[in-house]
Structure 1
């Protein structure tokens, strides 16, 4: 990464210079903050059985809370992430950190499923901090290493997702699901504010507050590369979300009969994503995004029948989990790097990209909950297969 002194890209006005840590330390702090905040979106998934028991319901009846979290994140991205092109990132990150922590604390004390869903929606909408930081990382990285720097943050993000499933499941089993949300509130507050303190402080030129949001349709219309990245990641993330948010229902159900803690340990396979991200970044820098995304889709297509077989054969479930995480993160590194470099407004383009991904994920996971209730695990695998086919087919037809 370049010098730690503040630069002034288009749309900014020179302000007082601010010191940031050494490049490696700065990137590490951003990756850790991304891990902690990204985990908030997935806290509910491994705790569905415990929540259902507490609320006197069934796991499938509260599975929609996991979808609400993803939908909230997509809404937050739509309104807050474009501000990265115009607002002071330091103040924005600090403010969103406080809102997220308060909403997580409210989740921990929610008296019922509806109140929990509302608090989770607010927490997820405010915890968009990683997507404010990724454009900054891409902006400061050398062009020949940009994908590798983006991949470092993505590795942190997926480590947080794994931690949410594994540590969340273990802590929920030991202390109750409410303590998991309370602990997440404390971690988010500490890491978010620490990151905000070291961000470059920039005075931006005044403009309409949601100018970036209003510009989204035009940015998508005039950038075929960005449009393609959005659609392909929506398909990939939707397939992953359908499978991963429903997996706890399969593992704790009659087929396997695992405890919440044991099912949470299954999330360790998600470490594949953290391990794949750095080499995926190197491959994107060397061979380009298109080839990496194509290979990722092929791998994801192989994982779907493996997941279906995993409904009865545990070893197939192991292989499928590794394959789908490797496919997801390789696709994400390639598509997000492409999105960040496709336009002159990276924060706005990144908003379009991540909103598309999470909207696809929220829709797929909601449909997967319905499919699991009516058609079992095979229905969930069917939803994942359809999402992959749509993500690739639509972009293959339109040039």
Structure 2
């Protein structure tokens, strides 16, 4: 499919691109964190939600995995619209829809209603993956890695801080209070986005069917996109399975309260420092070394978490190191794929992030039954297998 005249399109795009100030970067990072948190509020409080709605322990991880499957569907079929329709309007619409779905989850009293709401929460929280390409589009080439890294810091902080915030609020107001609070936050963020974000009208011209078809065309065209998507999907499978089970293990076997689980998750947020580091490594041309370090650190961190003798302290080591590795590799991958085709960044990002969250959803899906069957030490060792596979594939990949 023709992408039009690249030179002319680039000229039009440059004229229409607003200046990306430091304050706007901070605002975009906050937006990313606030929206992506919707996917993870349920993770540390699954043990509270499941009995309340009549869901068995073996099926409790469906709460997390269905949200991530919904997000993956939205990434594939909704995010590409950012290359076709005005971006600010999309962002406001999706964020308002997320507010409605979060309120629906808070009001649910049966497993079916809550799980449907979980799927829709994921589907409507894709606004975050429109914000990141928007920032990449607005950033100068020389600083694009740093800008994306800073915004991804906000995204990872949203992922990591959502857990302690959720645990703390659940202890004070119950799990329904968590979802009502998130619904109110999304409604507020939608208003602020509408007031502060610049308009961006894409230059790409196509029907929706052609647009979705071009997503698969891009995946076939670029080997780098396929490779990076696979590596990060495998890492995120381990990341998601760890964070699905770690709160359960801490509550059951170490007697943690929800507040203590919140502190544990807060410590894990230290891994967010990887994002700006990754952006600077990418801008300096050290992407290969950074990727190797991330893919090596992830399985080692999970193996450390399986060790006995130090109790939950090894789990703290795993949380920090795994979060660091996942974030480092994610930003390095984004920097690489955004350079493939400046006019298709939303669709490139859709392929990349869909693969990541399919991996995360699968990791969450098998986490509960696997943990219930084999226990924590063996579960942690088995969770190390996907990132170990990514490391082997990276080492053996064809050069050039």
CA shift digits 1:25-51 (9 cap, x unpaired): 111111111110000000110111111
Residue of structure 2 in register with 1:88 after alignment: 86
1: CA distance, partners of 2:191 / 2:17: 16
1: CA distance, partners of 2:240 / 2:8: 36
Contact 2:54 2:110 in 1 (8 A): no
Q: 1:111 and 2:137 equivalent? A: no
Q: 1:220 and 2:202 equivalent? A: no
Partner of 1:346, secondary structure, is helix
Q: CA deviation at 1:68?
A: 0.8
| TM-score in terms of structure 2 length | 0.91
Over aligned residue pairs, what C-alpha RMSD do you find?
Answer: 2.4
Name the CA shift for 1:279/1:394 in 2 (closer, same or farther; >3 Å). Answer: closer
Name the CA shift for 1:320/1:174 in 2 (closer, same or farther; >3 Å). Answer: same
Partner of 2:341, secondary structure, is coil
Q: 1:176 and 2:174 equivalent? A: yes
2: CA distance, partners of 1:239 / 1:258: 23
Contact 2:224 2:337 in 1 (8 A): yes
Name the CA shift for 1:324/1:241 in 2 (closer, same or farther; >3 Å). Answer: same
Q: CA deviation at 1:18?
A: 8.3
Matches within 5 A, 1:263-302: 263-302=261-300
Q: CA deviation at 1:269?
A: 2.1
- Unaligned 5+ segments in structure 2 are 1-5
Name the CA shift for 1:312/1:105 in 2 (closer, same or farther; >3 Å). Answer: same
**More moved, 168-177 vs 213-222:** 213-222
Q: CA deviation at 1:86?
A: 1.4
2: CA distance, partners of 1:60 / 1:312: 28
Residue of structure 2 in register with 1:4 after alignment: none
Q: 1:252 and 2:251 equivalent? A: yes
Name the CA shift for 1:132/1:310 in 2 (closer, same or farther; >3 Å). Answer: farther
Contact 2:18 2:198 in 1 (8 A): yes
- Unaligned 5+ segments in structure 1 are 1-7
2: CA distance, partners of 1:112 / 1:82: 33
2: CA distance, partners of 1:356 / 1:223: 15
2: CA distance, partners of 1:19 / 1:349: 20
2: CA distance, partners of 1:341 / 1:217: 18
Partner of 1:30, secondary structure, is helix
Contact 1:89 1:200 in 2 (8 A): yes
CA shift digits 1:323-343 (9 cap, x unpaired): 111111111110111121123
Q: 1:373 and 2:382 equivalent? A: no
Residue of structure 2 in register with 1:71 after alignment: 69
Name the CA shift for 1:204/1:396 in 2 (closer, same or farther; >3 Å). Answer: same
Q: CA deviation at 1:310?
A: 6.0
Matches within 5 A, 1:214-363: 214-253=213-252, 255-309=253-307, 313-344=311-342, 345-363=344-362
Contact 1:104 1:182 in 2 (8 A): yes
CA shift digits 1:268-305 (9 cap, x unpaired): 12322322211221122113322211111111121011
Q: CA deviation at 1:204?
A: 4.7
Q: How many residues matched?
A: 390
Q: CA deviation at 1:153?
A: 1.0
